[in-house]
Structure 1
Amino acid sequence: MPLVLLITFTYYPVGNMIWYSFTDWDGIDQTKNFVGLNNYIQLFTRPQYFQVFTVSLYYFAASFVQMAIALYFATLLSFRTRFKNFFKGIIFFPYLINGVAIGLIFLFFFRPGGTLDATLVALGLGKMGHFPLWLGNPGWVNISLAGASVWRYTGLNFVLFLGAIQSIPSEAYEAADIDGANSWQKFRYLIVPGIRRIISLSMILAIAGSLSVFELPYIITGGANGSGTFVTTTVQQAFVFQRVGFASAMAVMLTIVVLLITWIQRKLVPDDDVALS
């Protein structure tokens, strides 16, 4: 039964997507004319479709901020800390919120005179009306959206790191205490090597996530002001311009890019090296 579900809801749709990428299907008509590699030729000969990958760099940089914050709090809350369960819930809670709700929250947060502007005024960092348009300025919009992604996804990395740190045997910490190791030495020589597999997994998720960002820019800006990503462009081609065949080719290429980068990363940081660290 699990195999049937996997084939029905994963492999069959992927197979259909690959087939559509070789057609000119508009998503409505019953006929799907075979066009060979024409969709892929258009994709590679029009650089504007790949220029949106530069937007992913903002989210990729934000993923390092996520991991740093998550690792810090996971390390802190892995040991005896007052109200640690309360703080665990606070950190993980944003990840549980629906993406549409988060988009609406940050739409009000970043709007002119919104929560962010009011907070900066309260801190004495400026006057109302003198702040940039966080979502309307092309120089700020991707930074703002990447910041929102940090708030949302830090909880996922936090849980991964927390579970990995707590799996390290307590005897290892006791031995470090006997040797006189301080907190930084425990973190550097005990915790980081012990969770390197999870750090590698987080890197893979960060790369895949930064390349396939969709919810936040689609809901908050609709891809306006230079905030469009490869996925929002793909959706636009499929459902606005009714070029499902071309959009399928874009989706296939995105899948190949993610798999290729993941394969390269696994070659650079193989499991054997991680296990021996």
Structure 2
Amino acid sequence: MSDQRRWVARLTPWFFLAVPLAFLVTFTYVPAANLVAYSFTKWDGFSPAKQFVGLDNYAQLFTRPDLFRVFFVCLYYLAAAAVQVGLSLYFATVLSFNVRFRNFFKGVLFFPYLVNGVAIGFIFLYFFQPGGTLDSVLRLAGVHGQHLWLGDPDLVNWSLAGVSVWRYTGLSFVLFLGAIQSIPAELYEAAEIDGANRWHQFRHLILPGIRPTLSLTVILCVSGSLSVFEIPFIMTGGANGSTTFVIQALKLAFQFNKVGLASAAALVLLLLVLLVTWVQRRIAPDEGVTAL
């Protein structure tokens, strides 16, 4: 092969990658760099002048109680994420075996994830109304009274986190089900011949086999818990102590015109997601199917 053909062969992939890389740099890395720069300034988003304030924006995020409260709100969604992973793994394991109406139950579990988030928000607004659907169900169970599910600061975040579990369990369920069904059937047959029951199959066969998927699902759930926005924004707008990271950043930037402080909040959120991902990868690195 001549030198000219060799250079053409080397440069051809870069010609195809030039446009995607240009879009990636323009719409991802440049805005990210601007975000970092804005986080060290006091800027209203309109004025051409930006006042450099150093780490003052970050100090405000961690010292002002009204801004620091969002860290505690995330704990509700992290608890909901743990419930979501447990439920989805349980249903995926049960429905991976030959049970009656399993295709029907698969559809029931996955359907909420297909529904538009705005529609879910309005549906559950009626569900959580005082004297509404949830209170009517509770009265049938002997619990009387009208509860302010979205108006009580002690209940609102639990209610919103419960909606998140209902909506996103189907996604985790599908990921787990696909991973479980990818395990060779011969391993199940060998386990049954050796006298392994369902619990032993789950512990020694399914869990090791789906470890990469479990790791991915945990990362998605944790990052989603930190960046939750749609459901609380539609249902409460962040009222009654339900403000999340993203809602707070939006309000700071577009309601109070504090773009520098909002940029710092967004950057802290990004760093938290990256930190949680790194810690999770260190604790439970991806591995293939381990030997039984």
TM-score by length of 1: 0.91
1:20 match = 38
The list of structure 1 runs, each at least 4 consecutive aligned residues, that deviate by more than 4 angstroms after superposition, is 274-277
Structure of higher CA gyration radius: 2
Count of aligned residue pairs for this structure pair: 273
| Deviation readout 1:34-78 (Å, 9 max, x if unpaired) | 433332233334243223211111111111111111111111222
Cα distance in 2 for partners of 1:139, 1:146 equals 12
Cα distance in 2 for partners of 1:211, 1:268 equals 20
Cα distance in 1 for partners of 2:162, 2:61 equals 30
1:264 match = 279
Contact 2:209 2:290 in 1 (8 A): no
Q: Cα offset for 1:275?
A: 5.8
**Paired residue type of 1:17:** L
2:194 match = 179
Cα distance in 1 for partners of 2:206, 2:219 equals 20
Cα distance in 2 for partners of 1:140, 1:206 equals 22
Question: Which deviates further from its counterpart, 142-151 or 91-100?
Answer: 91-100
User: Does residue 1:93 correspond to 2:111, yes or no?
Assistant: yes
Cα distance in 2 for partners of 1:139, 1:46 equals 21
Cα distance in 2 for partners of 1:47, 1:226 equals 12
Q: 2:53 aligns with which of 13, 27, 35?
A: 35
Q: For residues 43 and 140 of structure 1, do their structure 2 counterparts lie closer, same or farther at Cα, with a shift above 3 Å needed?
A: closer
Find the residue that maps to 2:80 and give its secondary structure.
helix
Cα distance in 2 for partners of 1:228, 1:247 equals 14
Q: 1:227 aligns with which of 242, 245, 259?
A: 242
Find the residue that maps to 1:101 and give its secondary structure.
helix
**Paired residue type of 2:21:** L
TM-score by length of 2: 0.87
Percent identity among equivalent residues?
63
Q: 1:200 aligns with which of 210, 215, 222?
A: 215
Cα distance in 1 for partners of 2:23, 2:185 equals 41
1:163-178 correspondence runs (5 A): 163-178=178-193
Contact 2:131 2:147 in 1 (8 A): no
Contact 1:213 1:231 in 2 (8 A): yes
Contact 2:215 2:286 in 1 (8 A): no
**Paired residue type of 1:19:** A
1:81 match = 99
Q: Cα offset for 1:126?
A: 2.9
**Paired residue type of 2:153:** P
**Paired residue type of 1:162:** L
Q: Cα offset for 1:276?
A: 4.8
Q: 1:246 aligns with which of 258, 261, 267?
A: 261
1:126 match = 143
